[in-house]
Structure 1
Amino acid sequence: FRDKKKNRYKNRVNDYLKKTCIKNGSVEKWECSCNIYNNKEEEENQKSVEKLQVEKYAKKCDFKSNAFLSIFNLK
Structure 2
Amino acid sequence: MGFIVEEALLRNVKMPDTLQAAIQNKLKTEQENQQMKFVLEKERQEAERKRIEAQGIADSQKIISGGLSNQVL
When normalised by structure 2's length, the TM-score is 0.42
RCO higher in structure (CA 8 A, sep ≥6) = 1
- The answer to which structure has the higher strand fraction is 1
When normalised by structure 1's length, the TM-score is 0.41
